[in-house]
Amino acid sequence: MKQDILAKKLERINDLPGLPSVVFETIHLLDEPGITIERLISSIQLDQAIVSKLLRLVNSSFYGFQGKIGSLSQALVLLGFNAVRNAVLSISILDIFSGINKDRAFDPRLFWLHAIGTGVISRVIGRQLKYPRLENLFVAGLLHDIGKLVIIKLFPEDFLQILKEVKRRDISIIEGESAVLGINHTEIGHKMAENWRLPEEIQEAIALHHCPWNASENRAMSATVSLSDCLCRALDIGYGGDSLVPEIDPKAVTILGVEPLFIAGCLEEIDLEMERAKSFLAIFSED
Ligand SMILES: [Fe+2]
Ligand SMILES: [Fe+2]
């Protein structure tokens, strides 16, 4: 594809709806020292659609408080600032992409199942490794392939062409994207994450989940998401766009410093958490 056509296509990424201002404010308020619950509530409350979804989400089995959280302040106290911030973020991003319908070539439900699966597995691995920001790890896993949804939403014909190439040449979706578009979902996803001003380590994990050894900022997060992406495919959770199960990259395993048996030890917890996480998806299919 010629450079000028590619540049025009990339400009269209800026046409996608941005995150609501409440979400930006919430994300950045949390970086302020001495932020109070009252200040956060008054910011989030400006968007009642987000509040009602947030309450449904925090009362789902995903968080384990089924039906017990009645207000925003209770959610903040019980879940903590970070979990609420990331719930607000996830809700808004899922909303931006909620209009994509299922068709013969693509089932958005299976895409989200892959995304949630990668988020859940990332969090389980992170917990085992005593990673300090588990909620960021979940969001990085949830959004790692968001560039694919941008392609589907903005360039549906190219996406069909990509799927055809993937099938015809038995290649991975990332190779198909580069062949058809001249750019792949990690580059597009990174651009989105920058536009949304997500935390640096999440931006980097989205950009580098296929080559975590190139990370400079937080290699452990990129490597965890990369490993979780492979595991999610190997465990047949959802669908990532091609049927190839990538081999677990030994470099990703080395970055994390884990033994081969480590993964087997995570499987039971992944199974358990995945059951609960399906409620996350159910909330967004209700609309
Ligand atoms: Fe990917
Ligand atoms: Fe993936």
pLDDT value of residue 285: 63
Task: Pick the closest to residue 218 from 206, 230, 233, 231 (CA basis).
Answer: 206
Q: At what angle do helices 200-208 and 134-143 cross, to 10 degrees?
A: 40
Question: Whole-angstrom Cα distance, residue 230 to residue 211?
Answer: 12
Question: Whole-angstrom Cα distance, residue 144 to residue 122?
Answer: 11
pLDDT value of residue 286: 57
pLDDT value of residue 164: 92
| Ligand 2 centre distance from Cα of residue 185 (Å) | 10
Residue 63 placed within a domain: no
Domain at 221, CATH number = 1.10.3210.10
| Ligand 1 centre distance from Cα of residue 185 (Å) | 7
Point out the residues of the chain with pLDDT beneath 50.
Answer: none
Look up the domain containing 117 and give its range.
Answer: 3-14+101-285
Question: Model confidence over 47-81: pLDDT tens digits?
Answer: 898 899 899 988 988 888 877 899 999 998 888 88
| Ligand 2 centre distance from Cα of residue 9 (Å) | 23
Residue 281 placed within a domain: yes
pLDDT value of residue 275: 87
| Ligand 1 centre distance from Cα of residue 65 (Å) | 32
pLDDT value of residue 287: 53
Q: Give counts: helices (H), strands (E), the chain.
A: 16, 0
- CB-CB contact of 130 with 185 (8 Å): no
Residue 24 placed within a domain: no
Residue 192 placed within a domain: yes
Tell me the CA distances in angstroms from 60 to 18, 116, 284, one per residue in order: 27, 15, 12
Question: Whole-angstrom Cα distance, residue 123 to residue 137?
Answer: 6
Residue 211 placed within a domain: yes
When divided into structural domains, the chain yields a total of 1
| Ligand 1 centre distance from Cα of residue 167 (Å) | 17
